[in-house]
Amino acid sequence: MKSDVTKKGLERMPARALMYATGIPAEVMDKPFIGVVSSFTDLIPGHVHLRRLERAAEHGICAGGGYPLLLSVAGVCDGIVMGHGGMHYSLPSRELIADMIESVVTGHALDGMVMLVTCDKLVPGMLMAAARIDIPTVVVTGGPMLSGRYQGKRLSLVRDTFEAVGRRQAGEISEKEIAELELEACPGAGSCQGLYTANTMACITEALGLSLPGCATTLAVAARKDRQAYLSGERVLDLVREGKSARHFMTKDAFANAIMVDMALGGSTNTCLHIPAIAHDADVDIELDAFDRISKKTPHITALRPGGDYFMEDLDYAGGIPAVLNRLKDLVKDCPTISGATTAQIAAAGEVSDDDVIRAVDNPYHKEGGIAVLKGNLAPDGAIVKQSAVEPEAMVLEGKAICFDSEEDAMKAIMGGKVKAGHIAVIRYEGPQGGPGMREMLSPTAAIVGMGLSNSVGLLTDGRFSGGTKGPCVGHISPEAAAGGPLGLVEDGDTIVIDIPNRLLEVKIDAGEMEKRKAAWKPRPARIQKGYLARYARMVQSASTGAIVV
């Protein structure tokens, strides 16, 4: 066992003494030491319930013949830090999470891990750590939140709070309704109810083969979630005995399955950052173009919020990820999973109980998957759009640029009515390096939707979007403005074309004018000069790489 390096031999006597000081009995020293890696915190609704799952996982580990050892990592809630300086820390926190787990688990030479995790950057951060450490690992995602209720209607966070801000600004709803919505939209523990980044990453984790079948969609409040945590604790001991580490499951074919499920669901654009970063730590090469290639051959078969009207609870009741795999069974690559069943076996066993929530591949919501990769003179290295959340009339959009050098300036202009139909709003210097931290632009995009402009206003950014974004919003534009990318050369009034079917993002100025502007461009001083974010800005790579840190 890996942990023997800390437990066996005369020279390890001081280490054993320190372990006994924590309450570890001498009688368990011959058992595998299993880390219960928890992201419990009082700060995030997706994590407030993980204490009970910790207990269930510990029981399962003991039943399986191991000894559980709890360790914790911190996180931030994207919804709470959105729209202000706190959002700079969201994406960079992914690296801290992975680094912390790597440091503690490797330093203490644990034999396996059960990871308890729910939200946006925590799931990919933990998966990155699992890939790096490469020991037997089972992931238990914490589950979606129940939908809210108000006057007989179901509620979700993005549509009924972020977008409600724009509707209130447009005078469509009252102060009373705003007050009720903010109390009722999020009724309790779990990840926000639509196919936003947290739930998308949970579905990807299951499709990748690192969670038990059904785990991704099981509601946070369900007793089934406790049983999954218990069984995951038992199962990790089987993996320890079988010698099957995380990378045994994190193969190139498994990543292809994960991307395919993402495309079929119409998941968050943030997966174009997280999947390549996880694959990088697993020594698997996943390039950005893979998303577009897989999207073109994968039908979009669900319509969950924000692009549709269904909720994660509907996907769960319809059969969850096993049912999605069943629909895609002719496209699924057969890979091992931590459950002991292969993806083909899980797909064969999956059952669809609602043919509209999870449609057949010959009756999809869209013929192509959820994400498209655009290129052109504004994005030589690529840009991302969630095409499944764009209405047909906005799939090709031409308009005049109105430029902002920060999210705050853009939001002020949108709320002040300065962004109008026919505009393409450009928000730049918000990339991984320039932000720093590549902030999400949910507040501006949701305000545009709430004000009824989602089909007549485009938005371009070298930042990124929440999984809750909809409309012709193009992010991850690479190279970013801070690195001298073309987005920094756009001027107010330039004509911009967003052509999603033809995968084109272009500004209509000739090459000579572009070169003239490039020669005159000068790098801007870093926004943040000290602390973690300053270090992050110096080390982070382009969004087209997954914003990896090297």
Tally Cβ neighbours within 10 Å of residue 21.
8
pLDDT for position 83: 82
What is the radius of gyration, based on Cα positions, of the chain? Answer: 23
pLDDT for position 170: 85
- Contact assessment for residue 299 and residue 266, using Cβ atoms and an 8 Å cutoff: no
pLDDT for position 353: 98
Query: Could you tell me which residues are beta bridge partners of residue 385?
Result: 372, 474
Q: Which of 443, 466, 478, 544 is catalytic?
A: 466
- pTM to 2 decimals? 0.96
Cα separation, 81 vs 74, in Å, equals: 14
Percent of the chain residues past pLDDT 70, beyond the cut: 100
Cα separation, 514 vs 510, in Å, equals: 6
pLDDT exceeds 80 at position 468: no
State the CATH architecture for 378-545: 3-Layer(bba) Sandwich (3.50)
pLDDT for position 307: 85
Minimum mean pLDDT range among 45-54, 164-173, 296-305, 393-402: 164-173
Is 466 annotated as catalytic? yes
pLDDT tier at 467, thresholds 50, 70, 90? confident
Residue 406 has which token pair?
A: 């920060």
Q: Give residue limits of the domains in the chain.
A: 31-146+188-349, 150-184, 378-545
3-state secondary structure of 382: strand
Task: Tell me what the pLDDT averaged over the chain comes to.
Answer: 96
Per-residue model confidence as pLDDT tens digits over 122-173: 999 999 999 999 999 999 999 999 999 999 999 999 899 988 988 898 899 9
Residue the block writes with tokens 């669901």: 265
Q: Taking Cα atoms as reference points, which of 159, 257, 151, 147 lies closest to residue 204?
A: 257
The HSE-up count of residue 39 (CA atoms within 13 Å, CB side) is 33
Residue the block writes with tokens 């090469």: 285
Cα separation, 35 vs 104, in Å, equals: 10
Torsion of the alpha carbons at 460, 462, 464 and 470, rounded to the nearest 10: 10
3-state secondary structure of 141: strand
pLDDT for position 249: 98
Rounded mean pLDDT, 42-61 = 98
